[in-house]
Amino acid sequence: MPDTPLLIAGLGNPGAEYARNRHNAGFMAVDVIHESYRFSPWRARFQGQLSEGALGGRKTYLLKPMTYMNDSGLSIGPAMRFFKLPPDALVVMHDEIDLAAAKLKMKKGGGDAGNNGARSITAALGPDYRRVRIGIGHPGEKHRVHGHVLGNFSKLDEEWLVPMLSAIAEAAPLLAKDDDAGFMNKIALLTQPPKKKKDAADGL
C-alpha cells in the first residue's frame, strides 16, 4: 500500500447548465465515489471543491476544479504541490471523444488526445499522471465535436452511463492500491451484459 495519499480529480465545467453535459463525465464519476464512501463534505479549496476520505485504507482526496475544463491545471497543480504528491499519486477522470461511448480505458502519461483539461494539467505537472478515460464517442465530423461534448447525455446514454459510474465507484479502491489493471478488469466484469440463462434442455 503506497504511503502517499491519492488525489482523484474529476474534470468538468461548473454551473447547473453544464451538469449533465458529456464533458462533465469526470465530475459525475467523482460525485458517485463521494456518495459511495465516507468522504467529508465538499469545501472550496484550490479554486475547486475538495473532499477528504479513504479508499482501500489509503488517504484519498477528491477534487473538482471550478476553473472550467480548459484551466483544470490551475486547480490541480496547486493541490498536488500543497500535498507534496508525486505525479503517479494523481488520477484524473475525464471524458474521451476518441473512445466509443460506454468504453473506458486507463493510461499513464502520453498525449492529451485533444482534451484541453488534460493539456492544462500536463502543462502544470508534466504528463506522468494516471487517467481514467470515459468514452463518450465521436460525432463523426470535426465541426460537431463542440456541440457533442457540451450536449447533455441522452436517455439512451443513461443506460450505460449509470452502470459505468457505479462500477467506477465500486472499483475505486483498486486505484488506491495502484492496481490499474485490476481496476479495469473489475469494471469490465461489473458492466458486462447479463448472460442469458441456458435453456434447461441444453446438453440433454
> How confident is the model over 62-110, as pLDDT tens digits?
999 999 999 999 999 999 999 999 999 999 999 999 999 999 999 999 8
- Note the CATH architecture for domain 6-191: 3-Layer(aba) Sandwich (3.40)
CA separation for the pair 135, 90 (Å, rounded): 20
**Strand ranges inside the chain, DSSP E:** 6-10, 43-45, 48-55, 58-65, 90-96, 104-108, 130-135
3-state secondary structure labels for all residues of 13-52: CCCHHHCCEHHHHHHHHHHHHHHHCCCCCCEEECCEEEEE
Mean pLDDT value of segment 185-202: 75
- For 108, list phi and psi in degrees, rounded to 5: -125, 130
Contact 66, 13 (CB under 8 A): no
Pick the closest to residue 66 from 51, 46, 80 (CA basis): 46
Q: Which residue has the cell 440463462?
A: 197
**pLDDT in the model for residue 201:** 52
Q: pTM for this structure?
A: 0.93
Query: What does the pLDDT average to over 118-123?
Result: 94
Question: Active-site residue 23, yes or no?
Answer: yes
Task: Residue 101: name the closest of 131, 130, 69, 139 by CA.
Answer: 139
Q: Is 119 buried (19+), middle (13-18) or exposed (0-12) by CB count in 10 A? A: middle
> Which DSSP letter does residue 97 get?
T
